[in-house]
Amino acid sequence: MHTVLVTGANRGIGLEFVRQYAEEGWRVHACARDPKAAKELAAIKGDVTMHRLEVADDRQIAHLVKELKGDAIDILVNNAGVGGSDGSTDPDDWLRVFHINSIAPVRVAEALLPNLEMGSAKIVLSLTSRMGSIADNGSGGSYAYRSSKAALNAAMKSLAIDWKRRGVIVVVAHPGWVKTDMGGPSAQISPQRSVAGLRQKLSALKPADSGSFFNYDGSTLPW
């Protein structure tokens, strides 16, 4: 049986990852800040185990590691993230966004490396954004969010290089402009379409793809 772990699994894209993988018979570890309040997540049928995880809390990461000791993980989906205040340069807000969007995904991946090495697929997917692309920035603004995703991209690129010898594939992907709480009602695609596209790409990944940045439809994006 294949196993996937999803952070930020209580809503939106994370919830849809859990739903689709569970429907296909995968074992799913679904992480959320408050599992007791995650009613939609709890309603998903299948082999789904919920875990409490605030990704910016090292103590909760350590507790998750203890819960998963000896369990193989094929795919880690670093989905948890925040948007930040558009246009704000408040340093406290900026650091909060960086901690959650840039630092936490690396910390979670590092903590779960032993589990990933036991898996068969050995994939780390971190959801980023086209807004983190320096080459694709034509509208400005969103200083904290853009820079946090650019930093995430850089960190995951380095992780891909460092973990190549371990056989772990590390990629970042833009899920599209998705109709979620963050994306809003004017967004272009549904969570179902986004996740289906991302899963299709994940299923076809090869070691040579490690360190890549792609769109939910599989196309390559500029850094």
Active site residues: 143
Q: Residue 78 and residue 175: Cα distance in Å, rounded? A: 12
Facing residues of 70 across strands? none
Strand order in the sheet with 27-32: 48-52, 27-32, 3-6, 75-78, 123-127, 169-174, 213-215
Note whether 135 and 223 are within 8 A (CB): yes
Between the CA of residue 65 and those of 48, 49, 70, 193, 212, what are the distances in Å?
17, 14, 9, 31, 27
Note whether 179 and 189 are within 8 A (CB): yes
Q: Residue 115 and residue 46: Cα distance in Å, rounded? A: 21
Structure tokens at 121: 């697929």
Between the CA of residue 207 and those of 4, 73, 124, 125, 160, what are the distances in Å?
18, 17, 12, 13, 10
Structure tokens at 219: 């196309």
